[in-house]
Amino acid sequence: MPTPWAWRWRRWRAGRRGGESASTLVALSQLGLSRTAELRHQLGLDDESTEGLLIALTDARRLAAAEARIDSWKAQGLQIELLDAEAARRLEPGLNADAPLSGTLALAHGGAGNARLFTQQLRLKAQRLGASFRFHTTVRAVSADGAGLMLRHEHTPPLEAPTRAQGAEREAGDTLPQPVGPMDERFDAVVLCNGLDASALLGQRLPLAAQHETSVTAPLRLLEAHPDLGPKAAWVDPALGLTITRTGQRVRVTGGLAVSRVRAKVATDFEALHRGLQHWFPGSVLHSQVQHGQSRRAVAADGLPVLGTSDRAGLWLSLSPGGNGWGLACGAASVLAQQIAGATPALDISALGPQRLT
Ligand SMILES: Cc1cc2nc3c(=O)[nH]c(=O)nc-3n(C[C@H](O)[C@H](O)[C@H](O)COP(=O)(O)OP(=O)(O)OC[C@H]3O[C@@H](n4cnc5c(N)ncnc54)[C@H](O)[C@@H]3O)c2cc1C
């Protein structure tokens, strides 16, 4: 895919710096995973989660590279083990016996889940605690005055008729009737999480690119004679550039990663995802109710999130988690909440701040 040259240059330079921020990212991801598990447990959330995340090492060269680096990954704090192909096939009995596999990396506490279900249930719990949400609302400006931050926002309902699901959300009282036109509201602190559009509200250009991803979701084929069809949890193939996950009775393949300028479009190749699924878990899905999806998110040249305080008092940033948004979200939110409340954060995230991009 055509990646902008300026961004490639920044990525190359960021790769040479490496170091401290990479270990902060590992620590944040571990915190994110344990906070997600804690929330699931404490709040009784059921998001069809499955435990287990295996990374395929498809040939001897990839296996040797992983063997050479595993100690340094462990030293960075990653809980990771090398498994041979047989052990991997015991964990994932639906794997194609003919697909070449030299070994796998197994990540402790990794897994898959349904982000939409997780978020919706979390929202209901937050509402019961008094949080309020405004959907279909666009923030037009954030400005500072002596007394705090002023947010100008405007109700911008979608033009198309609401779907049944959206209608149900409205009935639940989530989207209260809003006045027409812009409204000003004052806040002590604001966290900007608006990805690729952050620069406009910040009033300063952030060097972020758009990372595109395609996905295919299909119902699992349920056959009594073949109970092991499909993945049990999450399967990552870095060689084909795709991830195959099981959530409930569905299988999702994501991949086709491409980086472009923020407003550019890239071609999608759903066929490659179908081929990848067929390669690893043949015959595992029904092709009748397949959903094709496409998403775009902000990514920084060093691949790390932009997390921390901006140069305006009270304005915080949680941007560009790349493809790791959910993995990091609960950890990032708890560290930012601690900082905003003036408490000592569970983790020093200063290496992830926006200042590193300038
Ligand atoms: C198919 C798929 C698979 C994924 N797989 C994984 C995975 O395996 N692991 C993982 O950890 N994560 C995964 N993710 C999450 C994903 O990788 C991203 O990290 C995540 O979507 C980033 O979330 P975000 O909220 O930071 O930014 P975004 O998703 O970019 O959301 C930004 C939001 O801000 C809104 N916005 C912009 N400007 C304004 C404004 N002025 N006013 C109001 N709102 C505004 C936009 O409408 C948008 O809704 C997946 C996502 C998808 C779609």
CA 152 to ligand 1 center in whole angstroms = 22
Tokens for 223, please give them. Answer: 């056959």
CA 116 to ligand 1 center in whole angstroms = 11
> How high is the pLDDT of residue 1?
53
User: Using DSSP, how many helices (H) and how many strands (E) does the chain show?
Assistant: 9, 16
Cβ proximity of 123 and 133 under 8 Å: yes
> How high is the pLDDT of residue 19?
66
Cβ of residue 305 lying under 6 Å from some atom of ligand 1: no
Residue (of 256, 230, 234) closest to 243 by Cα position? 234
Relative to beta strand 315-319, strand 190-192 is parallel
Please state, in angstroms and rounded to a whole number, the distance separating the CA atoms of residues 166 and 346: 37
Tokens for 161, please give them. Answer: 């008729």
Relative to beta strand 250-260, strand 208-219 is antiparallel
Please state, in angstroms and rounded to a whole number, the distance separating the CA atoms of residues 238 and 241: 5
Please give the single-letter amino acid code of residue 289.
Q
Please state, in angstroms and rounded to a whole number, the distance separating the CA atoms of residues 335 and 308: 9
> How high is the pLDDT of residue 210?
92
What number does the ligand 1 atom closest to the CA of 243 have? Answer: 8
The per-residue pLDDT for range 128-152, each reduced to its tens digit, is 999 999 999 999 999 988 788 999 9
The per-residue pLDDT for range 88-124, each reduced to its tens digit, is 999 999 999 999 999 999 998 899 999 999 999 999 9
Please state, in angstroms and rounded to a whole number, the distance separating the CA atoms of residues 194 and 132: 18
Backbone angles phi, psi at 212, to 5 degrees: -100, 145
List Cβ neighbours of 82 (8 Å cut-off, separation of 6 or more).
Answer: 63, 66, 67, 70, 103, 104, 105, 106
Cβ of residue 297 lying under 6 Å from some atom of ligand 1: yes
Nearest CA to ligand 1 atom 1: 215
List Cβ neighbours of 92 (8 Å cut-off, separation of 6 or more).
Answer: 54, 231, 232, 233, 235
Residue (of 201, 231, 6, 209) closest to 96 by Cα position? 231
Work out the burial of residue 14: count CB atoms within 10 Å of its CB; fewer than 13 is exposed, 13-18 middle, 19 or more buried. Answer: middle
Query: What is the DSSP secondary-structure string of 18-37?
Result: -THHHHHHHHHHHHHHHHHH
> How high is the pLDDT of residue 59?
97
> How high is the pLDDT of residue 265?
82
DSSP 353: S
> How high is the pLDDT of residue 288?
87
> How high is the pLDDT of residue 266?
82
List Cβ neighbours of 59 (8 Å cut-off, separation of 6 or more).
Answer: 100, 102, 239
Cβ of residue 197 lying under 6 Å from some atom of ligand 1: yes
Tokens for 324, please give them. Answer: 């790791």
Cβ of residue 245 lying under 6 Å from some atom of ligand 1: no
Tokens for 22, please give them. Answer: 């990479």
Nearest CA to ligand 1 atom 20: 325
Nearest CA to ligand 1 atom 33: 194
Q: How far is CA 52 from CA 224, 277, 317, in A?
A: 24, 18, 31
> How high is the pLDDT of residue 82?
98
The CB-side HSE value for 140 (13 A sphere, CA atoms) comes to 10
> Splitting the chain (358 residues) into consecutive groups of 10 residues, what average pLDDT does each group show?
74 73 87 94 95 96 97 91 97 97 94 94 96 93 89 89 54 62 94 94 90 95 90 96 95 92 84 97 94 93 92 93 88 97 95 88
Q: What is the largest CA-CA distance in the chain?
A: 69
